[in-house]
Amino acid sequence: MGSKYTNRYSDVYKRDAIELVRSSGRTVTEVARELGISSESLRGWVKKARAAQEAEAGAGMSGPGGDTRDEELKRLRKLTAEQAKTIEILKKATAFFAKESDR
């Protein structure tokens, strides 16, 4: 079972405190002191929020941003295939013209 302090502060309060740290340019300790809360609590909230944001950004690869990556990957694969065909044609042409010049 969790601590009796687990739900001491609402999610909205935590979110506002985290935003205050991010936007004010002040340290976590300064903001915590101003709000009258433990600096360790606030530091933990900021750390969790940062981890969640990074996880969300990482998950974005398969989300909306992932579609553009998939499209880019398809485009690059198609371009690579076209270039491989061009190289093969040029090799054949080089071999053909090399034989012609030997005659």
93 versus 58: the higher-pLDDT residue is 93
pLDDT of 31 over the 80 cut: yes
pLDDT of 98 over the 90 cut: no
pLDDT of 5 over the 70 cut: no
pLDDT of 96 over the 80 cut: yes
Per-residue pLDDT band at 38 (split at 50, 70, 90): very high
78 versus 59: the higher-pLDDT residue is 78
The count of other CB atoms within 10 Å of the CB of residue 28 is 20
6-26 mean pLDDT: 88
Share of the chain above pLDDT 70, in %: 84
Residue indicated by tokens 């809360």: 37
65 versus 83: the higher-pLDDT residue is 83
71-80 mean pLDDT: 92
Half-sphere exposure of 67 (CA within 13 A, CB side): 2
Query: Which distant-in-sequence residues (6+ apart) come within 8 Å of 60 by Cβ?
Result: 66
Integer Cα distance of 13 and 35 in angstroms: 10
